[in-house]
A = this chain, B = another copy of it.
Amino acid sequence: MTRMTMIEAIRDAHDVAMERDDRVVVFGEDVGYFGGVFRCTAGLQEKYGKTRCFDAPISELGIVGAAVGMAAYGLRPVIEIQFADYVYPAIDQIASEAARLRYRSAGDFTCPLVIRMPTGGGIFGGQTHSQSPEAFFTHVAGLKTVMPSSPQDAKGLLLAAIEDPDPVIFLEPKRLYNGPFDGHHDKPIVPWKKHELGDVDEGYYSTDLGKAVIRREGADVTILSYGTMVYVAEAAAEEAGVDAEIIDLRTLLPLDLETIKASVEKTGRCLVVHEATKTSGFGAELMSQVQETCFYHLETPIVRVTGWDTPYPHAQEWDYFPGPSRVIDALHQMMEN
């Protein structure tokens, strides 16, 4: 056990994977000599050499396309998109190529590939450093989508993603890189050093994809969330004094429906919380599956608290960000019916 930031845990996962498997290669914009704008790959080029960790031209299409080719060759590329907001130029290579290669070639070619990207807001990054595009990926058959919320999970899930035989979208909540964040932006920042979830196992371990974890047991309402919003939900439940069960999904696809079902059948209420814009966000899919599987257990409508259907604004960051007060209001409203 060592206390680490999420950044250190991600770097450590790369290190362990590269040590264990020569096929693991790491590249992306500024990931080589400098070690990434968030330093998630710092030291890897020095340790493993320029041909296993290197800087790429500023072409997300090229980075993903090159990785698809390398994966088809037999390597296990782990690539970084500098911000999730910049993944769009690569969507064709992801959705039309990486995701469908195994299927369309009937397993003749495969695409074991991890695409990492810092995600979400809360850092005054404005419209193009704050987005949460997870819903796009969950709509594409052939992709797996993961979003950790702690250093321990980040390392274990990243190692599992690298070992996965299929392409994995690995979304890193950048607001959690250096410490948990419960949405109280006016309060002093808590570093991971001061938080138990900053404890990371040394060396190799992996955390199964497709398994959610219950962050807080509760009897009255189930909160489904992931990434930064898990901490917001925790703070809100405490402050609202509601006995909420909080599920950190960790993997959005494949989804751990069993854990969700068991909880909602127990509580009879379900609140979905995410930072992405509302319409056609992943919350819609969660609401639909809960409604499909737990309808007769529901005592109140399923509610979602999300980012608004606008671009992510700069000055109005905290009006956009779905913070504790909005979650608290939702909880109270749900407990009233």
Contact surface of A with B, Cβ cutoff 8 Å: 85, 88-89, 91-92, 95-96, 100, 103-104, 127-128, 135-136, 138-139, 141-142, 253, 276-277, 279-285, 287-288, 291-292, 295-296, 298, 300-304, 309-311
Contacts and interface: CB of A to CB of B under 8 A. Distances in A.
Q: Is the interface of A mostly helix, strand, loop or mixed?
A: helix
A296 to B, nearest CB: 8
B301 A141 contact: no
Contacts of A292: 301-304
Contacts of A85: 96
B104 A96 contact: no
Given A100-B127, A141-B311, A285 B295 contact: no
A104 B315 CA distance: 12
- Please tell me how many copies of the chain the complex holds: 2
Contact of A95 (B88, B287, B304): B88
A138 B309 CA distance: 10
A41 to B, nearest CB: 24
Contacts of A283: 288
Given A141-B277, A287-B287, A288-B304, 10 more contacts: A88-B96, A135-B280, A139-B277, A139-B279, A141-B279, A253-B279, A284-B285, A292-B304, A295-B298, A295-B300
14 contacts: A88-B91, A91-B92, A100-B127, A103-B310, A104-B127, A139-B280, A142-B311, A280-B280, A280-B282, A280-B285, A284-B284, A287-B288, A292-B302, A292-B303
Nearest to A61: B89
A139 B128 contact: no
Contacts of A302: 288, 291-292
Contact of A309 (B95, B141, B279): B141
Nearest to A290: B291
Nearest to A139: B280
